[in-house]
Amino acid sequence: MPAVDQFLPPRGVLTFALTGLGLLVLGAVISRAGPFPPALGYLALVAGVVLVLLYLARLVVLNPADPLVLGPALLSGFLLNPLLYGWLGVALYRLTPTR
């Protein structure tokens, strides 16, 4: 019987797929209501889609230097995620009550 790791790599599932799905849920909640700007929710949705696509591309393409994998990885790692988490940190900081 083949190992589960051959079909579903655990690191990729938690790093890209589950994080992407979590960002999709977070983006949907933020964009619908709440004290956060709706554009932050849309950015979380885009980041979630890119992470899920990156996971799927990594499952299909075995070479990590392939442009199909490298493009979304660079977009996510150097632009979308730092922008999203930085903006989310600033938005949360602005929500804290002053003492």
Task: Convert the pLDDT of each residue in 42-85 to its tens digit.
Answer: 999 999 999 999 998 888 888 889 999 999 999 999 999 999 99
d(CA 28, CA 45) in angstroms, rounded, equals 7
Handedness of CA 79, 88, 31, 47 (dihedral sign): positive
**Residue whose C-alpha is closest to residue 54's, from 17, 8, 26:** 17
- pTM here is 0.86
